[in-house]
Amino acid sequence: MPLAAKGEFALVRSILEAALEKHGQPVRRGTMAHDHHVYMLLTEAAAQQRDPAALAAYAPQLEALAARDGHRLYQAIAARALGVARRLAGEDALSAAAFDRALALFTDLGTQWQLGRTLCERAELELARQAPAAARDHYLRALAAFEALGALPDLERTRAALSALPA
């Protein structure tokens, strides 16, 4: 069940959605966010909120724009979001394939934080599949990625998830 959009999240989402309706003007040196940036933010928020309707609305848009522009980072973010959407829908094999695509792209890009986040999502899929040993492996790999960066909030969340796993 998706979390209700509250407070700052609801405000950010409404601002981003309004931005999509505005026509861009010629700009210099990236002074205005392009659609793929806005869709990335909306997709990320939808994935974090576990909102199937928002994921269905934004992730395919991001995926298409990222493919069109050859933007590998956003392709990976879209793949991760689609993995979340598939997991929420109970489509485990499609979820795993999407997460694995995201993992491959993030690995190639060397984006440790994004890699760690995706490994945590993959671990949640394994928990849904009743595979705690596989979940532990993904969480441990995520922990290593977060430790390499000193990403303390992510380290704490991942450690808590690991400690909650059955022995």
- pLDDT tens readout for residues 91-110: 999 999 999 999 999 999 99
Give the CA-trace dihedral at 141, 145, 150, 152, to 10 degrees: -50
The dihedral through the CA atoms of 143, 83, 112, 54 has a sign that is: negative
Provide the H-helix boundaries in 21-151.
35-49, 52-69, 72-88, 92-109, 112-128, 132-149
Give the per-residue pLDDT at 1.
Answer: 40
**pLDDT tens digits, 46-73:** 999 999 999 999 999 999 999 999 999 9
On whether the CB atoms of residues 56 and 82 are closer than 8 A, the answer is: no
Report the share of the chain in percent with pLDDT over 90: 75
Query: pLDDT by residue (tens digit) across 137-165?
Result: 999 999 999 999 999 999 999 999 999 99
Report which of residues 20 and 161 the model is more confident about: 161
Q: How far apart are the C-alpha atoms of 132 and 163, rounded to whole Å?
A: 12
Q: How many residues does the chain have?
A: 167
**pLDDT classification of 19: cutoffs 50, 70, 90:** low
